[in-house]
Amino acid sequence: MTHRFTRRASLALMGAAALTAAAPAFADEWKPIKPIEMVIMAGQGGGADQLARLFQAIIQKQGLSRMPILPVNKGGGSGAEALRYLKDKDGDAHVIMATLNSYYTTPLRTDIGVDIAEFTPIARMALDTFVLWVSADSEIRTLDDFVASVKASGGTWKMGGTGTGQEDSLVTAMLEKEFGIKVTYVPYKGGGDVATALIGGHVDSTVNNPSEQMGFLRAGKSRPIAALTADRLETFPDLPTFTELGHPLVYTMQRSFVGPKDMPEGAVAYYTEMFRQLSETEEWRKYTAEQALLADFLTGDALQDYFLEERDKHAQILREMGSS
């Protein structure tokens, strides 16, 4: 009995040793073995959600992943729900998260025990742009009209946007500071709701991403006033930028993917390659052109540096917001 036991044990040991030795050789060929969860930091229907679902669609259509991608919306608390969720997934190779700027702002504003420097950067797909919108029924046609109307309203001007402390509210704060105006900021669950609220006349203006207003714009229901970009958007060649009107306000939203802390290296390589291929597809090119997105692919350490730099910038904006 003893003899057999030892033999079995030693066999097992040898097997284990062989496996360990073989593991590094397989590392660069890591492949997902179950469906990949794509956590979305926002509710359904907004810009972040539509984009994440587009990525899912292209990945599946082009066969870029051998396992299906399952999008999961965790939009609660300005993305805090998603961040906490990812924090609990240390080392998981089958979960990725689609980020937006609340990736920095939410942990800066609330102590939710998340440090984004711990997460694994995968790829930045694009920078989304912001435009000031009013309803097509509105009298406002230029930026000067807008500023005059807001001033005349005496603080009752309603600006719709996503959760307090998220991108839309930061852009609103930038506008308030630049023009010395005061608006009533009404938070909604997602950019889609915000866009609908503008068309329904429940708010007076918004700073939606172009993709969120595109459907309404084409139906002649909304009107862009000015873009918060450095240069004019190719999609709207006639739309002036704040910069050229003498107010250098530029703000973009990153659309990236990150993984949890300690994501296996093979998995990071796999997803990076997947998104690189995605960024070169015809569908993606067409979408970025139509929806006024700036495609700007970035990966690895450069992406992490970008994240940390942006985090500092946002800390600064938030401090200014708090002190004003």
Q: Which residues bind another protein (CB under 8 A)?
A: 44-45, 49-50, 53-54, 56-58, 60-61, 68, 70-71, 73-74, 76-78, 80-81, 84-85, 87-88, 106, 109-110, 112-113, 156, 158, 163-165, 184-189, 192-193, 196-197, 199-203, 214-216, 218-219, 221
Q: How far is CA 248 from CA 148, 213, 229, 304, in A?
A: 19, 23, 9, 27
Instruction: Give the residue with the Cβ less far from another protein, 28 or 88.
Output: 88
CB of 307 vs another protein, minimal distance in Å: 20
Instruction: Give the residue with the Cβ less far from another protein, 142 or 156.
Output: 156
What's the rounded Cα separation, in Å, for the pair 192 and 213?
8
CB of 201 vs another protein, minimal distance in Å: 8
CB of 270 vs another protein, minimal distance in Å: 18
For 119, the token pair is: 């997460």
What's the rounded Cα separation, in Å, for the pair 164 and 311?
17
For 27, the token pair is: 């590392």
Q: How far is CA 67 from CA 29, 59, 71, 212, 274, in A?
A: 15, 10, 13, 29, 12
How many other C-beta atoms can be found within 10 angstroms of the C-beta atom of residue 195?
28
How many other C-beta atoms can be found within 10 angstroms of the C-beta atom of residue 110?
14
Instruction: Give the residue with the Cβ less far from another protein, 213 or 252.
Output: 213
Instruction: Give the residue with the Cβ less far from another protein, 205 or 299.
Output: 205
Instruction: Give the residue with the Cβ less far from another protein, 135 or 241.
Output: 135
Q: Sort strands 36-40 and 95-99 into parallel, antiparallel or unpaired.
A: parallel
CB of 117 vs another protein, minimal distance in Å: 19
Instruction: Give the residue with the Cβ less far from another protein, 73 or 138.
Output: 73
Instruction: Give the residue with the Cβ less far from another protein, 22 or 219.
Output: 219
CB of 34 vs another protein, minimal distance in Å: 11
CB of 3 vs another protein, minimal distance in Å: 43
Q: What DSSP character marks residue 35?
A: P
Instruction: Give the residue with the Cβ less far from another protein, 159 or 249.
Output: 159
What's the rounded Cα separation, in Å, for the pair 106 and 117?
14
**DSSP string covering 215-273:** HHHHTT-EEEEEE-SSS--SS-TTPPBTTTTT-----EEEEEEEE-TT--HHHHHHHHH
**Contacts (Cβ under 8 Å, ≥6 apart) of 13:** none
**Contacts (Cβ under 8 Å, ≥6 apart) of 69:** 35, 36, 38, 55, 56, 59, 60
CB of 24 vs another protein, minimal distance in Å: 30
CB of 196 vs another protein, minimal distance in Å: 5
